[in-house]
Structure 1
C-alpha cells in the first residue's frame, strides 16, 4: 500500500490549476518522488500497483459510496436516476455480496492478466513494456498519446461489444449468453458497481482489452505516467457514466450516462464508449453524440462567441487600417509643409 500512496500523481497532471509558485513546488516534489520510485521499484511492480490503486480510488470507493446512497436513501436516489425506482440496485445483502464478490474477482483477474502480459512482453522485448524513465513526458506527447489511446479504445469497445458480446445467438451462444446473464440480468439503468460485475470473460473483452491492448501495441513509445493518466481518466469516466444518475456533470458525460441507461434497459444499441461509432453506424439510442455536442455548443454560446470574436477581429483590422491611413495623411501634410518652406 505504501507504493500506491507514494506518488502524488494528481499534483503533476492537475498542477496547472494551481498558482505558479505552488505548481513549481508540486512538480519538484513529484519529480523527486517519481525518481525515487523508479530507482527503488521495478517498472512492472509500479505499473500493477499503480493501475490497481487507480481502480480502487476512482472506481471501488465511489461505487460503494453511490451504493450506500442508493440503498440508504432510495427515495432521494430514485429522483436522480434514469428510469426512477427501477434503476435502484437490489437492497438485499445476498445480491449485493454476490455482485461485489464478482466485481472484486474481475478486478483481481484484470490485474493478474495485465501482469502476465506485461511480463511476457518485457521478456520478449528485453525491456519494460512502458517507458518508466525518470524523465517526465512533455505535455504535447501526453496529449497526442492520450488522443490515440481514446480513439483506439472507442473502436475496440464498439466492435467487441456489438459483434461479439451482443452477437446473434445463432452465431455465438456462449459469450452473449454469459454477458446477458450477468451484465444484463435486469433491464434498467446501471449502477457503478456493475462496471466490473460481469462474467469474467466478457468483462475482460469489454473493459480490459480496449483499455490495455492499445497501450501494449504502442510498446516503449508510451510513458508509464501517460498510461496511468489514460487509465485513470477511463476509470473516472466509466464510474460516473455507469452510475445511472441524471445529475452527472457536463452535457457530454451526461449524454454518455443517458446512453448507458438506454443500453442496459434495451441492449440493442449504444455499444461504444462515447457514442461516436454508434452515430456512424446508426445504433444510437436516446439521442446521439452529435446532439450532445450541439447542446454543449448552445450551452456555452459558441456561435455568439464566434461571431463576437469575428466582429472584434474585424474591428481591430478596421482600426489598424484607419490608423495607417491617418499616419499616411500626417506624413503627407508634413512633407507638403516642408516643400512650401523651401
Structure 2
C-alpha cells in the first residue's frame, strides 16, 4: 500500500471511529501544539542554542528584549487565552449536539483534493486579511486601544510567544475569528482548515519572532509594534489600499534611523 493510500485509509478509519467534535477539538489542539507552541519554543531557544546564527537576523537590540519574568507572564496569558478558546470550541459542539445541528465544517471520509485545498486556502487568506485588518484597525481606535489592544503592544520588541499575548476579547475577535470564519463560510473540509490554521500560526509566530526570516514580513510587523500606526494587515493588500503600509511604513522606518 502506498503512502497516499495509507493516509486516506487511516483518515477514513478516524472518521468512522470518532465523532466530528472529537476529531476537531483534538486535531486543532495538535496543530496549535506543533505550529504555535513548538515553533515559539524553537524561536525563543535560537538565542541560547545558536547565537552566532540568530543574532545577525535579530531585528531589535538586546536591551529591548523581554526579560525572563516577562516571558513567564506571556506564557501564562497565552495559555489562558488558548484554554478559553478551547472551552468555547467544546461549548459550540455541546450546543450543536443539544439541538442536533450538523457541524459547519466537513468531515467527509474522503480527503480533500490538492486543487480544493489550494483554492480554499487562497480564498481563506484573502478573507482573513479583510477580517484581521479591520478588526485590528478598530482595536487601535483611541477609545478601545487603552482598554484592550494595549495589552498586546506591551512587547515593543515582540517574541514568537507574544503573538497570542492579548486581552481575551482581542484574542477572540482578532486572533480566532479571522482564521475560523473563512473556513466556516466556505464550509471547508476539516483537513483543509487544519492546513490553513497551520500556515497562519506559523506566519504569525514568525512575524512576531523578532527575526527577519521572511524577507521583510517580520520587519514590517516589528515596525507596527514599534510605531503602532503602520502595517495593520497580514498580506499588505489593505495596508496598500488604505495607505497604512508601503510609503507610510518606509517613512516611519527612515524617521527611526
TM-score (norm 2): 0.88
Alpha-carbon displacement from aligned partner over 1:175-225 (angstroms, at most 9, x marks no partner): 543221x2111433x11000111121112211111011222233xx31111
Report the Cα distance in structure 1 between the residues aligned to 2:130 and 2:100, rounded to whole angstroms.
27
| Structure 1 contact 70–89 (Cα < 8 Å) conserved | no
| Residues 1:280 and 2:241 are matched in the alignment | yes
Structure-2 residue corresponding to 1:127: 102
Structure-2 residue corresponding to 1:243: 209
Structure-1 residue corresponding to 2:232: 271
Structure-1 residue corresponding to 2:254: none
Structure-1 residue corresponding to 2:175: 207
| Structure 2 contact 78–161 (Cα < 8 Å) conserved | yes
Task: Return the offset for 1:75.
Answer: 7.6
Task: Return the offset for 1:99.
Answer: 0.9
Find 2:130's aligned residue among 155, 173, 176: 155
Alpha-carbon displacement from aligned partner over 1:37-62 (angstroms, at most 9, x marks no partner): 11111111111111111111111012
Report the Cα distance in structure 2 between the residues aligned to 1:287 and 1:41, rounded to whole angstroms.
51
**1:117/1:255 CA distance change after superposition, 3 Å:** farther
Report the Cα distance in structure 1 between the residues aligned to 2:174 and 2:58, rounded to whole angstroms.
24
Report the Cα distance in structure 2 between the residues aligned to 1:49 and 1:87, rounded to whole angstroms.
37
SS in 1 for 2:148: helix
Report the Cα distance in structure 2 between the residues aligned to 1:106 and 1:186, rounded to whole angstroms.
17
Report the Cα distance in structure 1 between the residues aligned to 2:64 and 2:58, rounded to whole angstroms.
6
Structure-1 residue corresponding to 2:4: 27
Gaps of 5+ in 1: 1-23, 289-342
Alpha-carbon displacement from aligned partner over 1:271-302 (angstroms, at most 9, x marks no partner): 111111001100015459xxxxxxxxxxxxxx
Report the Cα distance in structure 1 between the residues aligned to 2:63 and 2:191, rounded to whole angstroms.
40
| Structure 1 contact 63–192 (Cα < 8 Å) conserved | yes
| Residues 1:166 and 2:173 are matched in the alignment | no
Relative contact order (alpha carbons < 8 A, sep ≥ 6): 1 or 2 greater? Answer: 2
TM-score (norm 1): 0.67
- Point out the more displaced range, 226-235 or 151-160: 226-235
Alpha-carbon displacement from aligned partner over 1:69-102 (angstroms, at most 9, x marks no partner): 3357768644321123245232x3x322211111
Task: Return the offset for 1:116.
Answer: 2.5
Report the Cα distance in structure 2 between the residues aligned to 1:125 and 1:216, rounded to whole angstroms.
18
Structure-2 residue corresponding to 1:196: 164
